[in-house]
Amino acid sequence: MTDSGRTASRTAVLVCQGRAAAHGRAGTDRFSDPVAAELLRDAERTAVDEVRTAAVPKGRQERTRYESVRACAEVVVPRTIAIDEALRTHATGQLVILGAGLDTRAWRLPELAQTDVWEVDHPASQQDKRARLAEAASRLRSPGEGDGPSAGQGEPTGLPVLARSVRFTPVDFAVDDLGTALDAHGHDASAPTTWLWEGVVPYLTREQVRATLAALAARTAPGSALVVNYQAPSARVAAGRLLTRLLGSSITSGEPWRSLWQPGQMGALLSEHGLRVVSDDDLLSLAYAFAGPAHRRASLRSGRVAVAERA
Ligand SMILES: C[S@@+](CC[C@H](N)C(=O)[O-])C[C@H]1O[C@@H](n2cnc3c(N)ncnc32)[C@H](O)[C@@H]1O
């Protein structure tokens, strides 16, 4: 718990567990996240290992936790591939990740070598991430465990950063001014920016989504792009979340969904802010496109990735 009275995001950990579980097992070489496991603590890695080895645990709570990580692993594969590809296509020298959580791109994507990355997140979540990076660094450097990839490199944040820089920028979208925070951390509003907003929109109210979009649009120079992942309404997904809560998972109960958007509504909102949607795909279609016709959850259909450009 931080001074602001809010604890670090647990859904950010779940998404990271999903990426760690899917690493090397996604059925496609277009997905890979070797860094995710480094950001997890021992107990969190247990569930990941269970999913990776399909070792279904017995207890009800353990089983629910297992299913959450397994479902999340399915969601993050198409979402990550689509977003990574959009970031490559819309590369600028500035990448602002809104609600970064345990995002690993600054430590994972060599294509960011010429890009400064701003990791914007709620102060409690950001503090937690920085602690995890430090823990990963000390694990990798501890004697008897051999030389990890960052051993001896003296990275202040632990794992080797592949981006040109990472600038941690604490912002609570509910109360803070995004523009002021980015100014204070050296973001250049007059230069093109690639914005990434992944897995955050559902946790914000419609007003907070509008306010955040207005703030970023005010700093979006020509040549910029926004990659936004959002959730469309779905009775099936709502029922699944309710069931998970009833079965005892407290992961999602502390972070309820507050806004769902139909693609048309999201497109209209982006266009009000001068951003023209160039693609908007559901995760189920992306999963089929990226990894072929394996069994896929229909619930993937309500998650979407849209890319919008400012001409
Ligand atoms: C599900 S996690 C997604 C993290 C990351 N983008 C990913 O996809 O792995 C949701 C993130 O939204 C952030 N978030 C939720 N509400 C927020 C708020 N009011 N202000 C800032 N960040 C917020 C949380 O701190 C958390 O990092």
Looking up residue 193, the CATH number of its domain turns out to be: 3.40.50.150
**121: pLDDT confidence band, cut at 50, 70 and 90?**
very high
Domain count across the chain? 1
Ligand 1 pocket check for 172: Cβ under 6 Å = yes
Rounded mean pLDDT, 246-254: 65
The pLDDT of 81-100, averaged and rounded, is 98
Residue 242 has pLDDT above 80, yes or no: no
In a domain, 156, yes or no: yes
Q: Please check whether residue 42 lies inside any domain of the structure.
A: no
Residue 200 lies in a domain: yes
Residue 59 lies in a domain: no
Ligand 1 centroid – CA 11 distance (Å): 8
The mean pLDDT value of the chain amounts to 90
Does residue 52 sit within a domain? no
Q: How far is the CA of 8 from the centre of ligand 1 (A)?
A: 9
Q: Is residue 17 included in any domain, yes or no?
A: no
136 belongs to a structural domain = yes
Confidence of residue 251 (pLDDT cuts 50, 70, 90): low
Q: pLDDT at residue 124 above 60?
A: yes
Say how many Å lie between the CA of residue 188 and the centre of ligand 1. 23
The string of pLDDT tens digits covering residues 160-204 is 999 999 999 999 999 999 999 999 999 999 999 999 999 999 999
Is pLDDT above 70 for 53?
Answer: yes
285 pLDDT higher than 70: yes
In order, the DSSP letters of the chain are --TTS-PPPHHHHHHHHHHHHHTTTSSSTT---SSGGGGS-HHHHHHHHHHHTT---SSHHHHHHHHHHHHHHHHHHHHHHHHHHHHHHT--SEEEEET-TT--HHHH-GGGGG-EEEEEE-HHHHHHHHHHHHHHHHHHHSTTS---TTTTS--TTSSPP-SSEEEEEE--TTTS-HHHHHHHTT--TTS--EEEE-S-GGGS-HHHHHHHHHHHHTT--TT-EEEEEEE---HHHHHHHHHHHHTT--TTTTS-------HHHHHHHHHHTT-EEEEEEEHHHHHHHHH-SS---GGGGGEEEEEEE--
- Let me know if residue 176 belongs to a domain: yes
Cβ 116 under 6 angstroms from ligand 1: no
Compute, in angstroms, the gap from residue 89 CA to the centroid of ligand 1: 24
Which residue CA neighbors atom 11 of ligand 1 most closely?
99
The predicted pLDDT at position 61 comes to: 87
The predicted structure's pLDDT at residue 90: 97
Query: Which residue range(s) make up the domain with 125?
Result: 75-234+257-309
